[in-house]
Structure 1
Amino acid sequence: MSKTAVIIIDMINTYDHPDADRLVPSVAKAIPALSRLLERARAAGAPVIYVNDNFGEWRSHHGELLDKALAGPHADLVEPLRPDDTSLFVVKARHSIFYETPLTYLLAQEGIDHVVLCGQVTEQCVLYSALDAHIRHLQVTVPEDAVAHIHADLADAALRMMRRNMDANICKAADVTF
């Protein structure tokens, strides 16, 4: 039997970076579907794992990243997705959620073979993470209404690539099952 985890990518964010002005509207649009998906996952007892960039803050931990994001000008984009006491947290330095992180080990320890990738950025971190999940023989689902993009055309192409090249299930967040 398949065990599913929801992975929230890079949503603990101050949006103090290049292209943030292009990203923020897409994030705001994705938050309602992502929030509902998180509620359903938690109610079903599915693991929720936040994998977040450390933004070069090598002495920080997840609590500090969260506090800084909640104190920033875009706290309204972070608050609805705030980790709860059951959430797991992995810090990453680069695009893929797997690159030099303990995520592969964590998923194996938890018996997870299906990942639901949500968050940002569709045409970057989500795409690269989907490829890395695929080569690790994990089932991949990407709810297209629970991911955010900088460039809509590249995001559409990335979703098509994930479906075609990585056999990812591209669906609506409401259609994800646990």
Structure 2
Amino acid sequence: MANAEIEAPASGSCALLIIDMITDLDFPGGVEMLPAVGGAAEAIDQLRTKCREAGVPIVYVNDNFGQWHSERSRLVDLSRGTPAEDIVTRLQPHEDDFFVIKPQFSGFYATNLAVLLPKLGARRLILTGISADICILFTAADAHMREYDLWVPSDCIASQDGQRTRWALDIMANSMKAETLPTAELDIAQWMDRSE
């Protein structure tokens, strides 16, 4: 929350993670990803709204892009004038959202995410963002090792090509027991109602 206090436990023991969507897409293959990232951003935005209404905390987990003195507003500012500006404007965090800066692929590696999620009372995670076959996949693996239930909506992730996204989804579904139904087939209320 804005005052850094956690006012209530996560509704349904769930948390929504938005991974690396605060970006300038300034990396090899980034600009080519723009259509897929734009589609994922639209689905993430709709899911984020439903999560907020349901009392599910929203946690941005974002690469620092080598900006070691960065915090959330500086990372948002880095997208200005880039191909990803509209996406970042659409998805920029609200004041009461949580923001975790990561130095590497997994959202758990060298971050406070492993401490934050239990404080939120979250045992079930919804992973969204980019790239499906790298940062989403690595975060999912670390979450699975920590025994979190996972939903990775297939319409809320993107990578450099569809085949890599499908490959990552297959690994997460078969090796990490992740649910991968898109948001058109599973909504936040249904996910929250599922037994653990």
Q: Which runs of 5+ in 1 are unaligned?
A: none
Show CA shifts across 1:40-74 (max 9, x none).
Answer: 01111110000000001111111110122244342
* Letter aligned with residue 187 of structure 2: V
Instruction: Looking at secondary structure, tell me which structure has more strand per residue.
Output: 1
The question of 1:171 aligning with 2:181 is answered yes
TM-score of the aligned structures, taking structure 1 as reference length: 0.95
Report the Cα offset of residue 2 of structure 1.
Answer: 4.4
Report the Cα offset of residue 133 of structure 1.
Answer: 0.3
Count of residue pairs brought into register by the alignment: 178
Identical counterparts, % of pairs: 35
Please name the residue that 1:38 is paired with: 48
* Letter aligned with residue 37 of structure 1: L
Please name the residue that 1:83 is paired with: 93
Show CA shifts across 1:19-60 (max 9, x none).
Answer: 112211210121221110011011111100000000011111
**Partners of 1:34 and 1:173 within 8 A in 2:** no
**Partners of 1:127 and 1:162 within 8 A in 2:** yes
Superposition map of 1:74-153 within 5 A? 74-153=84-163
- Which 4+ residue blocks in structure 1 deviate beyond 6 angstroms? none
Distance in 1 separating the partners of 2:146 and 2:182: 24
Q: Which runs of 5+ in 2 are unaligned?
A: 1-10
Report the Cα offset of residue 153 of structure 1.
Answer: 1.1
Distance in 2 separating the partners of 1:21 and 1:66: 17
TM-score of the aligned structures, taking structure 2 as reference length: 0.87
Could you say what secondary structure the match of 2:23 adopts?
coil
Once superposed, what is the RMSD of the aligned Cα atoms?
A: 1.4
Distance in 2 separating the partners of 1:29 and 1:156: 15
